[in-house]
Amino acid sequence: MVKTILLDLDDTILDFSRGEANALRRALKRMGLLATPALVARYHAINAAQWRLLELGRLTRDQVMVRRFELLFGELGVEGSGESVSALYESLLAHEHSLMPGALALLKRLAPRYDLYAASNGSADVQHSRLAAAGIAPYFRGIFISEEVGADKPSPLFFQRCFAAIPDFSKETALMVGDSLNSDMRGGIAAGIRTCWFCPAGIGQGASLREKLPDICPDYTITDLFQLPPLLERL
């Protein structure tokens, strides 16, 4: 059986991709730059790469925040302060709180039956603001954000500190649910709990991603959040 569920936030519960694009457009507009779909896609790729480096321990959080914009501006050949634009972007992102399809219904269904905990690598101020604006913070018994925990997923230390803060925690009845193979699935596996990979792109794309990270083998895979409750009932 499952009692405790650790839920990733970005692109699992909160629609980070949509919020990222909206905040980026507004931030670049203030710089006099037009955020075309191609430019937004390029920023997304650069940003994702920097977060992967953080997960590998090669960059700090502060370096990620600034470096993503410095790299983007370098490619565009424009001058700009990565630090100031990052601060502006983060302030705008804090107001983006769109949910993933089915997320609210999922939380409403699971909260009365399971102990739900948010587990995120996002910035603390941004995530708390987004959770409050979306009105979903009350569904969680606790909110673990790496900046406050003092370690980032997939670090075992992140999960150890989460486990220590959960009353009567048992690895045998815990499940990590998230969209990232590296931070969520690798972290959960290393921490000794069951894992459920949320892959909304579908089985085909999921197989392609798995080929790039063949050492990561989640216990379960879902392509729609509505698939999680029936899965939990079987466990």
Strand ranges, E, within 128-219:
142-145, 174-178, 194-198
Q: Name which of 48, 41, 92, 91 is nearest 68 in CA terms.
A: 48
- Active-site option among 8, 11, 115, 152: 8
Binning the chain into helix, strand and coil, the percentages to the nearest 5 are 55, 15, 30
pTM above 0.85, yes or no: yes
- What pLDDT digit, counting tens, does each position of 123-163 carry? 899 999 999 999 999 999 999 999 999 999 999 999 999 99
Instruction: Render pLDDT for 183-226 as a digit per residue (tens, 0 to 9).
Output: 999 999 999 999 999 998 765 555 566 666 788 999 999 999 99
Chain centroid to CA 153 = 10
Pick the closest to residue 179 from 217, 221, 208 (CA basis): 221
Which residues, including other chains, have CB under 8 Å from residue 151's CB and lie 6 or more apart?
Answer: 157, 158, 161
* pLDDT at residue 55 in the model: 82
Q: How far apart are CA 182 and CA 99, in angstroms?
A: 22
How many degrees, rounded to 5, is the angle at CA 77 between CA 90 and CA 23?
A: 20
- The percentage of the chain sitting over the pLDDT mark of 70, rounded to a whole number, equals 95
Question: What pLDDT, on a 0 to 100 scale, did the predictor assign at position 70?
Answer: 93
Does residue 8 carry a catalytic annotation? yes
169 within 8 A of 2, measured Cβ to Cβ: no
